[in-house]
Structure 1
């Protein structure tokens, strides 16, 4: 028994240790059921398993502050959603439209989830008169609808529907002339006649769940403390980003019909905002905006070209401008120019620009454009006046920093690459961090009709998605197509150096090849000029060219001794013409080799005539030299051809003249008179 007891205790101990080693499971996360009606655009499953929409994103942020997970339950219509909430099948119902009298039992949370205007959608051929307007039986009150009807000249009969699907079907079948619904699909193509009566969306909770109601209110409080702009951000993302319908009042339409032409100036004239292309046409994001104004408002925008803020001010004071594009959305700053800003249509991020690889001093000199918004509201606030240097444009500021006249400047991020190219300041680089942001709007002349300001605000909401961003991206990357050597050198130093090295190597190779070819050609010409064509022996020109060298060598070899120098012409006798040229050439080459082996022969060359050799000979005396030559010619007689020779002392004559005289002496030589003859002066007179 003792052993069994001990064994049991060991087993229990092991089981305890095993239990401690096993991972503990997390407490299950609380799950709440959230009801929604598909097709509203507020909370949708746009594809299987993927939810999206203004309401969905709000609820997901809220779930983290509430500490729960949401499961979304689709309902056929709001009546079914209300019934499920009453039965406890769902816990929360967001965005229940209407005045909530249809669900008197439900409690509304304190905070609004979102606010949307109601829209009156009409048929494309709508022209007024008595019409039928559809509405939902749980819809919001419509206190402004009579005013809308009066403004647009129609009377109406309200037709009530139980759910939006039935109402939409009746509208598509032209059973009704229009319908009233929340503006939840701003990108749709339907004709919207009017927007009115902004209404709020809240969360509904059952009265039987007071603890949940308190928790949801507290979670919404925390959400708004952490993300106070969540409603505006979601509206921009899901509504404004899609482009609101352009809905103009009859008074606004009348203004445009009378106006026809808007005279406009542009505040920012730099790529990619506004600049001229190679054909002289205006291009850029601002031009895209002005083109869209012309298209949507059916008016002509006439651009007034100005070069400075002072010139814009003068045009405004004269009443010659209606609008100024790309101005900062700052009422106080624009008031001094006589402009009223619209809502912003674009944000411009300013970044710091300095010389690449150069550290900024403790008190940097800042290049700034005088009387610009960013100068007044950031640079002057950040830096003392003594550190600021004013220039006339951003391009001049870039040049100043590039040349070391300033240490730093600020410019819109999108404009930095084109400005670097314009100023050829490729030693500059921009920081990645945004220093300050400037909201851009359209400035409307304060003397203009207020309807113009209202129209432009509506038009900004109506701008197509990505219109300005695509124009900015296209303009800021155009500079890549205009590469310059300085751009490549600064941005791709290794590649540029390699390219330059290879280019120079290729050029030097070409020069060397051409030079070598030219030298070879000259050498070949020189060889041909100094070589006998038949025998490839040096000719008389070569002999004459080398004469100083030969005489110098002779002088060095016979220092202190007398020397007798003659020109010998050796010639095959006339009957040699009977032999073939190959035998003649071979005999001439053999004779030249024999002569070159003689110590007393300084140089040997081919003569002008076939079978002729000319030699420069030297000996201590004329008798010795004559004996050498006679012996030589005797040896030549062993060849099948007969050789004759003529001699002329070089003395003070030229080599050419001595060769002529030696040739003349050779003609007087024969078997009868002697194989070799010395030139005689009287022969020249014969």
Structure 2
């Protein structure tokens, strides 16, 4: 047993020893150097350490099938790249533009990496005649150039350059009227007069490396088997996405001069594709497309209003319209409408619409629009005819599902929010994944001149990359009015919480404003009912409270109004302050008496008024005299009191009589005097 363990340990040790002795390259991915020329647009380092471009992506996909890691080596120009390939400084040279015979030591792979047209770039004021055209000494043959010159009415002299930078410098100085190069920068600002002689780009290797050549060809075979559309996809991503230059032939330009107005119908008239705003003006992505056609082709677009495919067919038959926008890219289907589709410019994904929370039955009723491409190609292929219910438009399809007349319908994803809002069908839900998509193009009347179809195809290639997506995004950003019904259907808990928060906020605001108002009112009321000098209640306060105090009095204890007066001091700050303190102290002492209910400042300076209660007149006189006797006399002053029963009299009259009684007490040197009939009679005689 011990011997067996030792043997196994020895085998393991020998295995790791062999691994250590093997060459390191056996475990590392093979590295191959790839040459490229910066600035060509095919393969670029757009920022330090970051590569991009048609050629770069193709080579990176190829590296996976080749099992190699590519190291990219920049070269000054294609001649230097060829020299480095010859000397072995690089292993591969992708997409060298030009005549490969200029590199006799190189061999081409079997498959094409990409294809690009040649372009003739001319000065903005190019008008023909005898011109000088620049070309590169390694450029592709240009057999179509004589025909281009004949069509555009010019004769040319070719000027050959070794360096593309030198050629463009001569063009910038206007020493050249134009130059020829592959179309690798479609978004350039220069004027492109013509595109011609579409040429192929291949991968170059140095002869004498048959094994690498075989492996590269096999890897390219494998790449095309797994990604057969890779060249078209990369071309769309890096070339077409930038917007091709609009290059019209003289015949096409002449046609547009005879056709200043194009009449266009639109098949999809739903927001955000094509719709009318509040001012009856057309808006949406299709409107942006029409405006771009007007701008680029220098024509006037006239919108012909339609509503159904059948109506469009009648307009086409009568020759009323030239183009129909937003039609499916289906030659066979459009043939029945008398149209020919252009290349596509938009994909529209359709999603299912069902009632929120409802299970789809085994045989659902489907709401659809009769005659639509989507109905013919998808709905009828998925459901038997007896389950399909036809409606004139998508709005009524939504309403049918909402009202339980149908169980499901299919709508364009981008139009769903607007259709639900327009129909108030907030009990509906849209699927998150599109079920099918429709590729959209412009339909050209079969009766129209073929040049119109060619022109529109070129214009679609020329569209700004983000024209339609930006227009659709702008439409999606427009305000959608989410009503309480919509929110309650889709977000019941959140909506309830939101309503509670809003109501709580409103109630809180009302409470705060009411409390603030009451505080301010109370503050103003207090200010109005307070004597400014003595800072005690005044006659207004007494008026507001006297009725309640009288009602609370015992019937056996009538109410009296007492006027307590002290002679006003002479005008000096010390005596006035002392006098004020005496009045305030007297008011505090009076309020502490059981027989005094309210003490306020009187209307006359130096006077206090008290609402008092007593069993009878004699008792109230005794209370007043006792208070005066016990009170400290202010300086040279002397307190006198006048009293008057309150029963049956208003406050002002009673206060006046009490003040007169007080004066009578002062005249007679008495402490207190009660208003009575005798006093009233004596005052009337005076």
Q: TM-score normalised to the size of structure 2?
A: 0.73
1:517 Cα deviation from its structure 2 partner: 13
Question: What is the aligned partner in structure 1 of residue 367 from structure 2?
Answer: 367
SS at match of 2:444: strand
CA distance in 1, matches of 2:503, 2:353: 29
8 Å contact from structure 2 (residues 194, 247) kept in 1: yes
Question: What is the aligned partner in structure 2 of residue 391 from structure 1?
Answer: 391
Question: What is the aligned partner in structure 2 of residue 498 from structure 1?
Answer: 501
Superposed, which structure 2 residues align to 1:9-408 within 5 Å? Answer: 27-356=27-356, 358-363=357-362, 364-408=364-408
SS at match of 2:389: strand
Q: 1:140-195, CA deviations, whole angstroms, 9 ceiling, x for partnerless residues?
A: 12121111111001111222222322222222222222111110000001111100
Q: In the superposition, relative to structure 1, how do residues 190 and 432 fare at CA in structure 2: closer, same or farther (>3 Å)?
A: same
Superposed, which structure 2 residues align to 1:282-681 within 5 Å? Answer: 282-356=282-356, 358-363=357-362, 364-480=364-480, 482-489=481-488, 490-491=490-491, 492-493=494-495, 494-503=497-506
1:199 Cα deviation from its structure 2 partner: 0.7
Q: 1:349-401, CA deviations, whole angstroms, 9 ceiling, x for partnerless residues?
A: 22223333x14324333222222221211122122223323222222222333
1:500 Cα deviation from its structure 2 partner: 4.0
CA distance in 1, matches of 2:99, 2:162: 15
CA distance in 2, matches of 1:89, 1:109: 19
CA distance in 1, matches of 2:18, 2:504: 72
8 Å contact from structure 1 (residues 263, 321) kept in 2: yes
CA distance in 1, matches of 2:377, 2:226: 28
8 Å contact from structure 1 (residues 417, 479) kept in 2: no
1:12 Cα deviation from its structure 2 partner: 11
CA distance in 2, matches of 1:215, 1:309: 55
1:203 Cα deviation from its structure 2 partner: 0.9
8 Å contact from structure 2 (residues 275, 284) kept in 1: yes
1:59 Cα deviation from its structure 2 partner: 0.5
1:312 Cα deviation from its structure 2 partner: 2.0
1:21 Cα deviation from its structure 2 partner: 13
Q: 1:327-361, CA deviations, whole angstroms, 9 ceiling, x for partnerless residues?
A: 111111111111111100111122223333x1432
CA distance in 2, matches of 1:479, 1:402: 23
Q: In the superposition, relative to structure 1, how do residues 377 and 17 fare at CA in structure 2: closer, same or farther (>3 Å)?
A: closer
Q: 1:646-683, CA deviations, whole angstroms, 9 ceiling, x for partnerless residues?
A: xxxxxxxxxxxxxxxxxxxxxxxxxxxxxxxxxxxxxx
Q: In the superposition, relative to structure 1, how do residues 293 and 219 fare at CA in structure 2: closer, same or farther (>3 Å)?
A: same
8 Å contact from structure 2 (residues 353, 411) kept in 1: yes
Q: Could you tell which deviates more after superposition, 380-389 or 139-148?
A: 380-389
Q: In the superposition, relative to structure 1, how do residues 339 and 507 fare at CA in structure 2: closer, same or farther (>3 Å)?
A: farther
Q: 1:50-97, CA deviations, whole angstroms, 9 ceiling, x for partnerless residues?
A: 222111111011111111011112223323322322232221111122
1:236 Cα deviation from its structure 2 partner: 0.8
CA distance in 2, matches of 1:208, 1:268: 61
CA distance in 1, matches of 2:502, 2:382: 44
SS at match of 1:272: coil
Number of residue pairs aligned between Structure 1 and Structure 2: 647
Larger radius of gyration: 1
Q: 1:585-641, CA deviations, whole angstroms, 9 ceiling, x for partnerless residues?
A: xxxxxxxxxxxx9xxxxxxxxxxxxxxxxxxxxxxxxxxxxxxxxxxxxxxxxxxxx
8 Å contact from structure 2 (residues 267, 307) kept in 1: no
CA distance in 1, matches of 2:336, 2:120: 40
Q: 1:420-456, CA deviations, whole angstroms, 9 ceiling, x for partnerless residues?
A: 2222233333222221121111111111111111001
Q: 1:548-593, CA deviations, whole angstroms, 9 ceiling, x for partnerless residues?
A: xxxxxxxxxxxxxxxxxxxxxxxxxxxxxxxxxxxxxxxxxxxxxx
CA distance in 1, matches of 2:500, 2:312: 47
8 Å contact from structure 2 (residues 205, 213) kept in 1: yes
SS at match of 2:102: coil
Q: In the superposition, relative to structure 1, how do residues 479 and 381 fare at CA in structure 2: closer, same or farther (>3 Å)?
A: farther
CA distance in 2, matches of 1:194, 1:34: 32
1:98 Cα deviation from its structure 2 partner: 2.8
SS at match of 2:100: coil
8 Å contact from structure 1 (residues 109, 204) kept in 2: yes
Q: In the superposition, relative to structure 1, how do residues 507 and 370 fare at CA in structure 2: closer, same or farther (>3 Å)?
A: farther
CA distance in 2, matches of 1:353, 1:108: 55
CA distance in 2, matches of 1:294, 1:503: 53
CA distance in 2, matches of 1:512, 1:395: 51
SS at match of 2:254: helix
Unmatched 5+ stretches in structure 1 = 1-10, 519-533, 537-543, 546-596, 598-686
CA distance in 1, matches of 2:125, 2:404: 66
CA distance in 1, matches of 2:300, 2:330: 27
CA distance in 1, matches of 2:442, 2:11: 80
CA distance in 1, matches of 2:448, 2:239: 30
SS at match of 1:101: helix
Q: TM-score normalised to the size of structure 1?
A: 0.73
CA distance in 1, matches of 2:95, 2:309: 49
1:468 Cα deviation from its structure 2 partner: 0.8
8 Å contact from structure 2 (residues 35, 92) kept in 1: yes
8 Å contact from structure 2 (residues 339, 444) kept in 1: yes
Q: In the superposition, relative to structure 1, how do residues 46 and 516 fare at CA in structure 2: closer, same or farther (>3 Å)?
A: closer
8 Å contact from structure 1 (residues 247, 458) kept in 2: yes
SS at match of 1:181: strand
CA distance in 1, matches of 2:518, 2:368: 56
CA distance in 1, matches of 2:220, 2:361: 47
SS at match of 2:409: strand
Q: Could you tell which deviates more after superposition, 157-166 or 454-463?
A: 157-166
1:414 Cα deviation from its structure 2 partner: 1.6
CA distance in 1, matches of 2:103, 2:439: 43
Q: Could you tell which deviates more after superposition, 39-48 or 490-499?
A: 490-499
8 Å contact from structure 1 (residues 316, 338) kept in 2: yes
CA distance in 2, matches of 1:471, 1:163: 42
Question: What is the aligned partner in structure 1 of residue 642 from structure 2?
Answer: none
1:323 Cα deviation from its structure 2 partner: 0.6
